[in-house]
Chain A
C-alpha cells in the first residue's frame, strides 16, 4: 500500500453513510419480503437472507477494492472497460432471460447482471480518456470519442432490453460539463432523454404537439430579437425525427418481448386499469405513513403486497409507509449527504482522473436517486431503475459498491499522487 496513514486515509464519512444506507435498506427489504406469498421464480421467504449474503459479499468486495493500488484502476481502466463491454455482448449468446430481459448470466439460482458493473467500468474509461493530456473536451473529435465511450454500453444495454439502465448513462454529461463541455450538450442530453421516455410513454403525437407548442411559445417570445425561423424549424424537425425514430425502432426493430419489457419498466404493463396502478399504490403506501410511520414490518400496504416490485424498484415506498415522514426524510438526507460528500471530495482531487471518476460516481448515484424516488413518490413517470444500496439485488448492490469504493480508494491516495 502506498499510504502510511493506515485506514485513516479512507473517507470514513462515505463509508459510514454507505453502511447506514445498506443497513436501512436491508431492514426494509426484510419487511417488504416478510409476508410475501406471491408465486414467482424466487423463493421469496428467503429474499432478506439472500440480501444479507450479498451485503457480506460486498464487504469482502470492499476489502479487495481497497487493497488494490489506486493506480491500478487508472492503468487498467481500458481493460476493465473492454471486459465490461464483452460481458454485455456475451449476454446476446449466454444471457439468461429473467422477466423478459436478457440481462443476466445465470449461476444456479443466482444471476449476475453485467449492466450494473458496466457503469463503474464506463466511469473509469471516461475518466481515463478525459484526463488524458491530449484530450480536449472542447474539440468535436474528442467529444465524439467521449460520446462513443458512453454510448457503447448504453447501446448494448437497450436491446436486453433495459431502457432504464441505459438511461442512466445520461448521467455522464455532468462530469463532462464539469470538465468544460458546452452547456448546450447538457440541455441536449436531458431533452433527448425526455423525448425518449416521452415518446415511449405518451406516443409520438403528444411529443410532437408538446415540442411544437414549446417551440412556438419560445419563438413568439423572442420575436423582437428577429429569431431565425429556419433554426426553429430545424430544431422542431430534429425533435420530431428523433421521436419518430424512437417510435420506429421501438415498434419495428424491437421484438415483442422487448416491447413487453419496456412496458414493464415504464409501468404500462401492470397498469391494467390505466390509472397508474404502481404509482398510485406507492403513493398510498407512502402517504399512509404519516409522521412516524406504521412501524417496522407493520406496513399494511407492504404486507399486502399492493406495491409491485416493492423489494426492488419500489423499496422506498416501504420506507415511507413504515418509517413515516421522519424516516423518509432521513433517507433523502442520507442520499443527498452521500452525493454531496462525493462531489466535495471529487472537487478536492488533485488529479483529473480521480475528479472525473468521482464526479461520475456522484452523477450516477444522483440520477438513480432522482429517477427512483421521483417515480416512487409519483413526481415522475415510471422508469424502473433501482435505488442504490436499498433495492434488493446482488448485482445492483455490488455494482454500486464497486463504483463507490473505487472512488474511496482513489480519494485515499489523493495526496500521494504525483
Chain B
C-alpha cells in the first residue's frame, strides 16, 4: 500500500491533466477566438469603388477620398476631452454618447466617431490625432457624383448597419455598402474586395509584425466599373420635363430591353447623400411623406393603367378569336351591361372597327371584346384566368426581374381574387362584374415600368427582353444571361400589326394628334385614369392621371416609352407631350416642338397636388 500511494497519485495527476488539457484545447472552443482578439489586429485596405458610366461612356459617378475618425474603445486612454471635442467640432455630450455606443457595440472593434471629414478637416486633424490613443483616421472612398440627376437609378452608399453586419460578415462597422439603385444591385461588382492585413500584437497592443508572415493577408481588389444602359442626356432631359410634376418616365430600347431612361419625380440630387450633411439630408428626404422623393414612381408606383391597357385587350381578343379587325362595334355613348348599367364613353363616330377603336379609345368597343374573351369559356373563372395568363406573358402581375432593387409587381386580378371578393360559390359573378378591366381601370394596376415594357413588346410585335440597366461590367460585354433571353408573349405576332396601326392612328388623327412631331412616326396610346386617395380616412377623387404609352419609329422602333403624370388630367395633356419630347430628343437629339417644350418646362402641377391637403373643398379635372 505504501509503495503504491505516490505511484497512484502520479497516475491520477497525469489523467487529470490530460482531461484538463482536453477540456481547454478540444472541448471548449472559445479560447481560439479569445486568442485572436488578444493577439491579432486586422487592418483593412479599402479599394476604390468602381465607376459608373452611362450608355455613351459619360462618367456619372466616380470617387473622392473621405476620412472617418474611428475609435477602438478598448485602446482609449484618458484624454483632454474638451480639447478633442473642440477639434472634432462636437459637443461633450455627443462625444460621450458616441463613445458609449461604440463600447456597447464592441470594445475592441472600430466604430465611427465622426464620419466623412472634409479635406481641410482631415489636414487639420491628422496632425493632432497621435495625441489621442485609441482614435485614428480611416481613409475611405466616397462617391463623387458628376451629375445631379438619376439618383433613383444610381442609388446611394451608406454605412452598414448592425443587421447587415450580422447577415454578411464581410462588412465591418463603418464600411460602406450600396443601399439603393445600382449601387445596391451591383454592390459586389462595384465594391471589389477589401484587402486584409493581419497584424500580430503583443500584450501592450503594439504591432510586432505580420501574423504568420502575412500568409493570410490579401491585397485589395479594385471594384469593377460598370456601364449603364441609361442615356444621361435623355435622363437629364426627362427629369427637367418632370419638374413640378409627380410621376415617372420609363423608356426602353425595344430591341434589347435596355432601360434608356428611368425618371421619377420628384427626385433629388445624389450628392445630397454624401458627406457630413448626409444624414440630415436623408432624414429630410425620408420624412417627406407627401412628395416622397425616395419613392421610385417608375418602379414602385402601382397605377391604374387606363386606356393604354386597351391595346392589350385588343390583342387578347384577336388571339382568342372573339373579334377580327373588320368587325365593327357600335357605341351609344358608352357600354350598356346588366340592368341598365352603363360604362360611359366620349363622343366619337360609330360604329368602329379595331384600328379606329384604338384611335378613338372607344370604351364600348373594348368592353365588348373583353366580355367576349371572358365569356368564350364555360365559366367566368376560366375566362378570367385565361385572360390573366395572357397578361402575365407581358410581365404583368409580377416583379419583372429587372436589375434594380426596388419595385412592385402591379396587379392583375384572377379567378381566385374575384371568388374571394364576391364570396363564391355563395354568390356568383360574371364577366360584367369585372368589365372595368377592359379599359385599364378597376382592379388592374401597373407600374410605369410595366407599361413601358408592354409598349416595347408591342413595338417588337410579340416579344421582349427583361428590362435592365446594366450594359457591361468591367468593360466586357457580358451581362447576366437573364437579360439576353427572349420572352415571347402568348399572342401571335400577326395580331400585333392591327394594334400597331391603331396606335399609329392615335398619333396621326386620334387622341394624341396634337403632339405630332415632323419626321417621326410615333405609335402611342393616351390614358386618363380616375383615381382616389384617402386623406384622414376620407376617400376622395382626385384629378385624373395623365398617361401616355408609345414607341417610335413605327417600323424598326428605337424607343418605347411610358409616361405617367399624377393628376395631370387627360392623357395627351402632360404625358403625351412629355413622351413626344422625349422621343424627339432621343431620336433627333434636338427639339423642334419648342412650343410643347415651353408648355411642359413651365407647367406646374404643384397647385393640383396641394388641393387635398388644403383642408378645403376643391374641384377636380379643371
- A→B interface (CB under 8 Å): 35, 37-38, 174, 177-178, 180, 281, 283-291, 298, 300-301, 303-306, 320-321, 324-325, 328-329, 332-333, 335-336, 339-340, 343, 347, 359, 362-363, 366, 369-370, 373-374, 377-379
Contacts and interface: CB of A to CB of B under 8 A. Distances in A.
B20 A320 contact: no
5 A-B pairs closest in CB distance: A287-B31, A288-B35, A300-B39, A336-B14, A325-B25
Contacts of A336: 10-11, 13-14
A268 to B, nearest CB: 18
Nearest to A186: B5
Contacts of B81: none
Contact of B32 (A178, A287, A329): A287
Interface stretch (B92-100, B200-208, B575-583): B200-208
Given A303-B202, A305-B202, A325 B21 contact: yes
Interface in B29-54: 30-32, 34-36, 38-40
B21 A332 contact: yes
Given A37-B202, A305-B203, A333-B14, A320 B3 contact: no
Contact of A304 (B5, B16, B25, B38): B38
A332 B2 CA distance: 24
A69 B485 CA distance: 97
A141 B540 CA distance: 114
Given A300-B211, A303-B202, A340-B7, A366 B13 contact: yes
Contact of A320 (B16, B25, B34): B25
Given A35-B208, A287-B32, A347-B3, A377 B14 contact: no
For the complex, would chain A's binding face be called helix, strand, loop or mixed by DSSP majority?
Answer: helix
A378 B206 CA distance: 27
Contacts of A289: 25
A377 B7 contact: no
B282 interface: no
B25 A324 contact: yes
Interface string B51-74: 000000000000000000000000
Contacts, number: 128
B34 A287 contact: yes
Given A291-B26, A362-B6, 10 more contacts: A35-B202, A178-B2, A283-B24, A287-B28, A288-B34, A305-B202, A321-B35, A329-B18, A332-B18, A377-B24
B35 A379 contact: no
A284 B26 contact: no
A320 B16 CA distance: 16
Given A300-B200, A306-B38, A177 B2 contact: yes
A379 B203 contact: no
Given A325-B25, A328-B25, A290 B32 contact: yes
Given A304-B202, A347-B3, A284 B21 contact: no
A122 B14 CA distance: 27
Contacts of A329: 18, 21
Contacts of A35: 202, 208-209
Given A305-B202, A325-B25, A343-B10, A286 B31 contact: yes
Given A300-B200, A303-B200, A377-B20, A288 B10 contact: no
B485 to A, nearest CB: 49
B6 A343 contact: yes
Interface residues of B, number: 38
A180 B35 contact: no
B26 A325 contact: yes
A301 B24 contact: no
A286 B6 contact: no
A339 B10 contact: yes
B212 interface: yes
Interface of B: 2-3, 5-7, 9-11, 13-14, 16-18, 20-22, 24-26, 28, 30-32, 34-36, 38-40, 200-203, 206, 208-209, 211-212
Contacts of A321: 35
A290 B21 contact: no
A286 B17 CA distance: 12
A325 B2 CA distance: 33
12 contacts: A178-B6, A281-B203, A284-B38, A286-B31, A287-B32, A287-B35, A288-B35, A300-B40, A303-B202, A304-B39, A324-B25, A339-B10
Contact of A37 (B17, B18, B28, B208): B208
A73 B417 CA distance: 106
Given A304-B202, A332-B18, A336-B13, A180 B7 contact: no
Nearest to A332: B17
Contacts of A286: 21, 24-25, 31
Contacts of A332: 14, 17-18, 21
A359 to B, nearest CB: 7
A289 B18 CA distance: 14
A174 to B, nearest CB: 5
Contacts of A328: 21, 25
Contacts of A174: 5-6
A305 B18 CA distance: 25
A370 B11 CA distance: 11
A180 B2 contact: yes
B341 to A, nearest CB: 80
A359 B4 CA distance: 12
A135 to B, nearest CB: 17
A379 B16 contact: yes
A178 B2 CA distance: 5
Contacts of A369: 13
A294 to B, nearest CB: 9
B42 to A, nearest CB: 13
Nearest to B213: A298
Given A300-B38, A305-B203, A377-B20, A290 B10 contact: no
Contacts of A340: 7, 10-11
Contacts of B40: 300
A198 B28 CA distance: 28
